[in-house]
Amino acid sequence: MNILHILTTLIVMTACFGWLNARFFRLPFTIGLMIVSMGFSCLIMLAGRFDPTLLNYEQQLVSSIDFHEVLMEGMLSLLLFAGALHVDFGKLRTYAAPILAFATLGVVVSTVLVGGLFWLLLQWLGMPLDLIYCLLFGALISPTDPIASLGILKKLGVPKRLEIKIVGESLFNDGVGVVIFLILLQVAELGVEQLSAGVVSLMVLKEVGGGILLGLGLGYLAYRMLASIDDYEVEVMITLALVLGGYALADALHFSGPLAMVVAGLMVGNEQFRNRSMSAESSEYVDKFWEIIDVLLNALLFVLIGLEIVVVPFEPAYMVAGLLAIPLVLFARGASLALPVAFFSRRLEFEPNTGLIMTWGGLRGGISIALALSLSAEMPRDLLIGVTYAVVAFSIIVQGLTIEPLLRRLSAKPAERTK
Q: Is the pLDDT of residue 262 over 80?
A: yes
pTM of the model: 0.92
Q: What is the pLDDT of residue 415?
A: 45
392 and 365 Cβ atoms separated by less than 8 Å: yes
277 and 291 Cβ atoms separated by less than 8 Å: no
16 and 23 Cβ atoms separated by less than 8 Å: no
- CATH 1.20.1530.20 domain span(s) along the chain: 73-412
Helix (H) or strand (E) holding 321: helix 316-345
Return the sign of the alpha-carbon dihedral for residues 360, 294, 311, 32.
positive
Give tens-digit pLDDT for 274-295. Answer: 889 999 999 999 999 999 998 8
Q: What is the pLDDT of residue 162?
A: 79
Q: Is the pLDDT of residue 409 over 60?
A: yes
Q: How far is CA 323 from CA 327, 389, 390, in A?
A: 8, 10, 7
Q: Is the pLDDT of residue 418 over 60?
A: no
CATH topology assigned to domain 73-412: Na+/H+ antiporter like fold (1.20.1530)
